[in-house]
Amino acid sequence: MPEMLIRGGRILDPSQGIDQVDDLWIADDQIAGLGPPAVSRHQNSTQPIVVDATGCIVSPGFVDLHCHLRDPGFEEKETIATGTRAAARGGFTTVCCMANTNPPIDSRAVVEYVQRTAHVTGVVRVLPVAAITRHMAGQELVEMGELAQAGVVAFSDDGRAVGSSRIMRYALEYSKMVDRPIAPHCEDRDLVSDGVMNEGPVATRLGLKGWPATGEEIEIARDILLAELTGGRLHLCHVTTAGGVELVRRAKEKGIRVTAEAMPHHLTLTDEWVAGKRWDGRSAEPYDTNTKVNPPLRAEADRRALVAGLRDGTIDCIATDHAPHTLVDKQCEYDFAAFGLSVFETALGALLRLVQAGDLDLPTLVSRLTVDPARAYRLPYGTLRPGAAADVAIFDPSAEWVVDPSQFASRGRNTPLAGQTLRGRVLVTIAGGRIVHLADDRRLAQTPSVREHVR
Amino acid sequence: MAERVLMTEPEIRRALARIAHEIVERNAGVGDLILVGIRTRGVPLARRLAEKLEELENVHPPLGELDITFYRDDLGRRALHPVVHRSEVPVDVNDRRIVLVDDVLFTGRSIRAAMDALMDFGRPRAIQLAILVDRGHRELPIRADYVGKNVPTARDEEVQVRLTETDGRDEVVIVR
Amino acid sequence: MNRRHVLDLDDFTADEIELVMQTTDAMKEVLARPIRRVPPLRGKTIVTLFYENSTRTRVSFELAAKNLSADVVNITASASSVTKGESLVDTIRTIQALGADVIVIRHSQAGAPYVVAQHLRGSVINAGDGWHAHPTQSLLDLYTIRERLGPVAGKSVVIVGDILHSRVARSNVWGMTRAGARVTLCGPATLMPPLGGDGLPPVTVDYDLDRALEGADVVMALRIQRERQTGGMLPSLREYVERYQLTPARLRRARPGALVMHPGPMNEGVEISPEVAYGAQSVIEDQVANGVAVRMALLYLLVGERTTELAAAPAPVGARR
């Protein structure tokens, strides 16, 4: 591979506190460094590939601790090939895929299937998350030792809560031995029952069964107490409520080992979207099943608390919960529709609204997408430090585009953002030194040598 | 838009008086007559005719009001439906003579609709038609039994009947 | 009326409600004729698609359609998740292909009529969807009040019972407040949904029926279901009867001549005592009779409006307002 030069962009790497306009060099699939080329680099005989990043942000490739690639078992919704391409288009270079496949990721064989398939067909790094319990049934622990050895980065029964406090305690205790976090989906099944949207006035108006915030907070509180009891590492999946943020804040003050993630949709959308609210002011029809997600879109006060928590670091990082579904999973009555949104390709554009609104500064946003998730799972990614894997996202924070799900790389077109205009677009994604996404952008087309190297 | 007066208030009064005489003469009295006005302006015209008939014969014939909206054949061709009102036919129409009253006779379609509507109330012995202005351009084989005034018009002209009860004054104008 | 569908009352203006009321007057006159049939919907096909049993509502729509000379096709179906049997969208596409000018839909899931509206070129009338809405019921309730008490504006209306699970309560909160009435919702706290904010229009909530009834012009009792006891939301029906049954003694707290309403079917002796249900102040039978007239008015106002558009592609449903 020839060297690569990313020229003239604003280098934003929160892992090193770097925020400056500069050139970035890549060599041997690793970050080589910033600035003018060192003499040693010229010893390479070939000319470098040049990517013009003028006017763009150059950041570490994004790290997603929580996505659903649906492979094996639900390839009609997504495959590792399509899912990783969608991730690349969103600027993600490392994705942790959840265990609720069929069969679930609860054995070495399935872990190896995911790793092998990702190696052959994937374009970004795929790190499997294993189930906490066998068959995700909430009864018996998976073989955490063997699975950790096989390379899983965390344990999660995501999509289902671990109902038993006893099993959750064992999981947190046992996982200490393999030093991997337990990442629960917090939902009190008895309280939530068959709720389909946030409990509150909007649900009242629509006559839909409420999914109360308390149903999430009860389990967050329980799991924090169990983490305190056991000393295990707890990573809370998709926190969505003001009360949840407050519980995490207090736990961190007490020194309990807990990290937490929030999703782009919970940070930017509210339950009013189920009733038809949209950013562009043209209200959509109510009951759009592409607003149905678990946990549900919450009230505006929750959203604000979540953003505040993200800003002050109570919420460590952003994860996507990319959850693709087929049309038939969604084209039906709201109660019958599948939970989940296709998020990869809209995540950055949606999140930049927080920056544009002044709720978050850009370096913090980039930090929450890169080094912060990497730290939560102790991954060596999300940084432009010399010697690190050459994972880079180049995005234009002011480019406007209209979301058109039919153009998604993902098989899941289930997004409530269809037709919305987003400001901020990923132009180039480099994963492990290879260009895995190159937007159809005129400025880049002027450097034809780049296109030849797109995987 | 230019307006030309076709009938003044005294002319309308005289026309209605003549029609009342013709009704009495034709029916040999007002014994089993019912006057039924077609909404909107047929209703006050029917009321005025009834008063004239009472002056002549000392009998006030029963009055009815007909809303023909349901029976129009242009429903669905129009952008919005007209507001429909109740019809009031206070007595049994079976075997009675009915004089339908309307302001303008044009294509004949309203009268066709009115006859359909009336038939849904029963089986009258006969239906006659009294009209203030006949402007021609019939599309159906319908003619009036009593006519206030025959007015030749162009198809794109509009004849407007204004009555004190609905419009604050009595006059008939042609608008082009 | 410039709308394609009747899905909820939340988007009805006061003027639109008044137009429905006036048109209903005309329909009542038709119903009083010896031949209760007029021709404006001749050649139109109305499909009633019921995923929930409701003889009363289905027959009411069927009579309404037939009184306007429409052809009526009745379909009963069962709701299930998409993987089992024919999906709602499949069913709608079939009905669409076979030709329907209006679908009247009753469904156990909130929002199902909106799914239908998105896939149908004709009109959709919501005949009740889950807990969400039952707009024609509210319109007939409004008509019944107006017929007995005159203008609804300024009247005090108490709705008592299982508010949480009631589409009738939700639609009446919209309809009554839009028409200018003051609404009090009354029932046990476990059967009262979260209110305020961006939900329903402002209403008063009172858990005490005796207090809520003071000065009421209209009292509407809702059906209470036994499942609420087994589901843990009520200690017992006995206690519910004790606290919330509409009895002659309680009714005396309302204004003299206050109307008693019930959307049916009633559990006599549970939410309402038989003396009240069949007493002088009850207009429950009027509600049923007026239901046909109101549904005739809506069918008349919706159908035939857009015959030329029917051949075109489905308009975005957002255009219904």
Exposure letters A257-285 (e unless 16+ CB within 10 A, then b): bbbbbbbbbbbbbbbbbbbbbbeeeeebb
pLDDT in tens, A271-299: 999 999 999 888 899 999 999 999 999 99
A79-88, C224-233, C307-316: range with highest mean pLDDT: A79-88
- Interface check B121 vs C, CB under 8 A: yes
Query: Is A52 contained in some domain?
Result: yes
Overall domain count for chain C: 2
CATH number at residue A423: 2.30.40.10
Q: At what angle do helices C14-31 and C284-302 cross, to 10 degrees?
A: 110
pLDDT score of C306 more than 50: no
Does C177 fall in a domain?
yes
- What is the mean predicted confidence (pLDDT) over A222-227? 98
Q: How far apart are CA A380 and CA A390, in angstroms?
A: 11
Alpha carbon of C108: minimum distance to chain A alpha carbons (Å): 10
**Residues C217, C292 within the same domain:** no
C-beta separation of C259 from C218 below 8 A: yes
Q: Which residues of A146-163 are buried (b: 16+ CB within 10 A; e: fewer)?
A: ebbebebbbbbbbbbbbb
Domain assignment of residue C114, yes or no:
yes
Residue in chain B lying closest to C36 (CA): B120
Closest residue by Cα to residue C127 from C104, C102, C103, C157: C104
Whether C194 and A332 lie within 8 Å, measured CB to CB: no
Interface test with A, best of C51, C109, C138, C185 (most A CBs within 10 A): C109
pLDDT at site C2: 79
CB pairs under 8 A between B and C: 55
Q: What percentage of chain A exceeds 70 in pLDDT?
A: 94
| Residue C187 lies in domain | 135-284
Which domain covers residue A443, as residue numbers?
4-57+390-451
In a shared domain, residues A210 and A151? yes
Q: Is residue A38's pLDDT more than 90?
A: no
Beta-strand pair A4-13/A57-60: parallel
Q: C33 in contact with B at a CB cutoff of 8 Å?
A: yes
- CA A287 to chain C, closest CA, distance in angstroms equals 6
C145 pLDDT above the threshold of 70: yes
Chains C and A touch (3+ CB pairs under 8 A): yes
What average pLDDT does range C88-99 have in this prediction?
90
Say which amino acid occupies A78: E
Prior bond to C113 cis, omega within 30?
no
Residues A257 and A333 in one domain: yes
DSSP code, position A339: P
Nearest CA to C51 among C127, C135, C122?
A: C127
CA distance A207 to chain C (A): 4
Length of chain A (residues): 455
> Does some domain include residue C6?
no
Q: Which two tokens stand for residue A77?
A: 């919704």
**Vertex A259: Cα angle to A255 and A262 (nearest 5):** 140
Residues A135 and A207 in one domain: yes
Residue A381 included in any domain: no
Clarify whether residues C233 and C308 are in a common domain. no
CATH at residue A105: 3.20.20.140
Would A215 be classed as within a structural domain? yes
If asked whether residues A343 and A206 sit together in one domain, one would say yes
**C22 and C123 together in one domain:** yes
pLDDT of residue C314: 38
For chain B, positions 57-96, list CB contacts with chain C under 8 A. 67, 69-72, 75-77, 79-81, 83-88
In a domain, A351, yes or no: yes
Domains in chain B, CATH or no CATH each: 3-72+84-175 (3.40.50.2020)
**Domain shared by A115 and A160, yes or no:** yes
CA distance B132 to B33: 19
pLDDT digits (tens, 9 = 90+) for A402-451: 999 999 999 999 999 999 999 999 999 999 999 999 997 756 655 656 66
Distances (CA, A) of A187 to A66, A158, A194: 17, 10, 11
Indicate whether C223 and C305 sit together in one domain. no
Q: Report the C-alpha gap between A299 and B65 in whole angstroms.
A: 57
- What is the rounded CA–CA span in Å between residue A400 and residue A406? 18
Q: What is the largest CA-CA distance in chain A?
A: 69
The answer to whether the Cβ–Cβ distance between C198 and A272 falls below 8 Å is yes
CB nearest to B76's CB, from C29, C37, C304? C304
Instruction: Give this prediction's pTM.
Output: 0.90
CATH at C245: 3.40.50.1370
User: Does residue C83 share a domain with residue C147?
Assistant: no
Q: Are residues C176 and C248 in the same domain?
A: yes
pLDDT tens figures, C238-297:
999 999 999 999 999 999 999 999 999 999 999 999 999 999 999 999 999 999 999 999
Residue at a domain's end among A327, A343, A376: A376
The whole-number average pLDDT for the span C86-114 is 93
Q: What is the mean pLDDT of residues B115-136?
A: 93
Whole-number percent of chain B with pLDDT over 70: 95
Q: Is residue A142 part of a domain?
A: yes
Give the span between the Cα atoms of A347 and A87, in whole angstroms. Answer: 10
Same domain, A272 and A406: no
Asked if C300 and B76 come within 8 Å (Cβ–Cβ), the reply is: no
Residue A272 to chain C, least CA–CA distance (Å): 8
Contacting residues for C196 by C-beta, under 8 A, at least 6 apart: A201
Spatial contact of C19 and B83, defined as CB atoms under 8 Å apart = yes
C305 vs B70, B80, B122: nearest CB: B80
A197 neighbourhood in chain C, CB within 8 Å: none
Q: Say if residues A219 and A161 touch (Cβ distance below 8 Å).
A: yes
Residue C127 shares a structural domain with residue C232:
no
Q: Which residue has the higher pLDDT, B30 or A41?
A: B30
pLDDT of residue B92: 87
In a domain, C2, yes or no: no
Q: Which of residues 148-177 of A touch C (CB under 8 A)?
A: none
**pLDDT for position A39:** 47
Same domain, C256 and C147: yes
C55-67 and C14-31 helices cross at what angle (nearest 10)?
80
Of A426, A351, A438, the C-alpha closest to A60 is A426
Indicate the Cα dihedral angle C53, C57, C60, C63, nearest 10°. -40
Question: Is A158 designated active site?
Answer: no
User: How confident is the model at residue C82, as a pLDDT?
Assistant: 45
Task: Examine the domain organization and report whether A50 and A82 are in the same domain.
Answer: no
Same domain? For C222 and C129 the reply is no
Same domain, A21 and A118: no
Pair type for strands A197-198 and A125-128: unpaired
C3 in a structural domain: no
Amino acid B20: pLDDT: 96
Q: Between chains, do B76 and C307 touch, taking CB under 8 Å as contact? A: yes
Taking a C-beta distance cutoff of 8 angstroms, is the pair B51, C18 a contact?
no
Q: Are residues A170 and A140 in the same domain?
A: yes
Q: Check residue A36 and give its pLDDT.
A: 76
At C287 the pLDDT is 97
Residue C4 lies in a domain: no
Window 240-279 of A, Cβ < 8 Å to C? 272, 275
In this structure, the answer to whether residues C140 and C280 fall within a common structural domain is yes
Q: Which two tokens stand for residue C51?
A: 């995923």
Q: pLDDT tens digits for B22-61?
A: 999 999 988 889 999 998 899 999 999 999 999 999 999 9
Residue C131: closest C-alpha in chain A: A207
- Does residue C173 carry a pLDDT above 60? yes
List the catalytic residue out of A22, A223, A302, A321. A321
Spatial distance between the Cα atoms of C141 and C283, rounded to a whole number of angstroms: 10
Which residue of B lies nearest to C301 if distances are taken between CA atoms? B81
Option in C88, C89, C131 nearest A207 (CB): C131
Residue type, B127: I
**Are A79 and A146 members of one domain?**
yes
Same domain, A355 and A402: no
**Contact list, A414 vs chain C (CB under 8 Å):** none
**Gap between the Cα atoms of A388 and A432, Å rounded:** 9
% of chain C with per-residue pLDDT over 90: 79
pLDDT value at residue C320: 36
Residue with tokens 């040049």: A50
Are A231 and A300 part of one and the same domain?
yes
C236 & C280 share domain = yes
Query: HEC states along chain C?
Result: CCCCCECCCCCCCHHHHHHHHHHHHHHHHHHCCCCCCCCCCCCCEEEEEECCCCHHHHHHHHHHHHHCCCEEEEEECCCCCCCCCCCHHHHHHHHHHHCCCEEEEEECCCCHHHHHHHHCCCEEEEEEECCCECHHHHHHHHHHHHHHHCCCCCCEEEEECCCCCCHHHHHHHHHHHHCCCEEEEECCHHHCCCCCCCCCCCCEEECCHHHHHCCCCEEEECCCCCHHHHCCCCCCHHHHHHHHCECHHHHCCCCCCCEEECCCCCCECCCECHHHHCCCCECHHHHHHHHHHHHHHHHHHHCCCCCCHHHCCCCCHHHHC
Chains that touch C (3 or more CB pairs under 8 A): A, B
Is the pLDDT confidence value at C316 over 50?
no
SS3 of A17, please? coil
**Judgement on whether residues C244 and C125 belong to the same structural domain of the protein:** no
Number of domains in chain A: 2
Touching B: which chains, 3+ CB pairs < 8 A? C
